[in-house]
Amino acid sequence: LHHELKTTTVYVTHDQVEAMTLGQRVAVMKDAVMQQYDDPQTIYDHPANMFVAGFIGSPAMNFLPARLTSEGGSLYVVNDSFKLKIPQDKAGKLKACLGRDLVFGIRPENLKTPSMASGHDPEAILEARVRVREPLGDELIIHAENGGIEIVARLAPRTEVAIDQRITLVAEMEFMHIFSKDTEEAIV
């Protein structure tokens, strides 16, 4: 309608789907403070902080406590239950964060089974135990546990997986996010 009328429209909604589909520009607010103002795709791809990252996208982004380590010239995001290699194009921005406690973010659609991620990096593997299955016809949402932390993955609809089964997930690390544990602001 606003395209046909050729008018600027300010539309207020708490529904992230409405905001993303209707808006050419979206302002994400929290407690009357603007967290990010940008086009919908940029907000999705490059959230300014954990609030925006968790609000935009359904299911919400996974957040896992982690720290950065260096080994053999590569950077890794690690915790007691995973060690994931950071892509070289993102590593430069993170070198100053070595040894710091951070938050690793990955969207459910960026966790795949090995059969869904041909040619995957063997250093991008998460192991988890399936706790809940949500078969939705066109996709299968699983809630799994990795080191006591819940993670959600959006998988192919016919993925064979049962409750309490251990599952291997491949993290598409080119889509990963790193946030400051203290400020919750995005670092990468």
- Spans of the chain below 50 pLDDT: none
Residue for token pair 């600027």: 8
| Closest C-alpha to 177, from 18, 43, 12, 30 | 43
For residue 142, what are the β-bridge partners?
133, 153
Predicted local confidence at residue 11, as pLDDT: 85
Given a contact cutoff of 8 angstroms between Cβ atoms, the answer to whether 82 and 138 are in contact is no
Instruction: Kindly provide the residue ranges of all beta strands, DSSP E only, lying in 72-175, ordered along the sequence.
Output: 74-79, 82-85, 101-106, 111-112, 125-135, 140-146, 149-155, 166-171
CATH for the stretch 62-177: 2.40.50.140
Q: Give the type of residue at 164.
A: D
Predicted local confidence at residue 6, as pLDDT: 82
Predicted local confidence at residue 177, as pLDDT: 99
Predicted local confidence at residue 2, as pLDDT: 67
C-beta atoms surrounding 5 within 10 Å: 8
Residue 70 CA to residue 33 CA, distance in Å, equals 37
Helix-, strand-, coil-residue percentages of the chain, each rounded to 5: 20, 40, 35
10 in helix, strand or coil? Answer: coil
Predicted local confidence at residue 5, as pLDDT: 81
Q: Give the type of residue at 76.
A: Y
Domain boundaries, the chain: 2-55, 62-177
The string of pLDDT tens digits covering residues 49-71 is 999 999 999 999 999 999 999 99
Residue for token pair 């950071």: 86
Predicted local confidence at residue 1, as pLDDT: 66
Predicted local confidence at residue 10, as pLDDT: 87
Helices (H) and strands (E) in the chain, counts: 5, 12
Predicted local confidence at residue 119, as pLDDT: 87
For residue 107, report the phi and psi dihedrals to the nearest 5 degrees: -75, 150
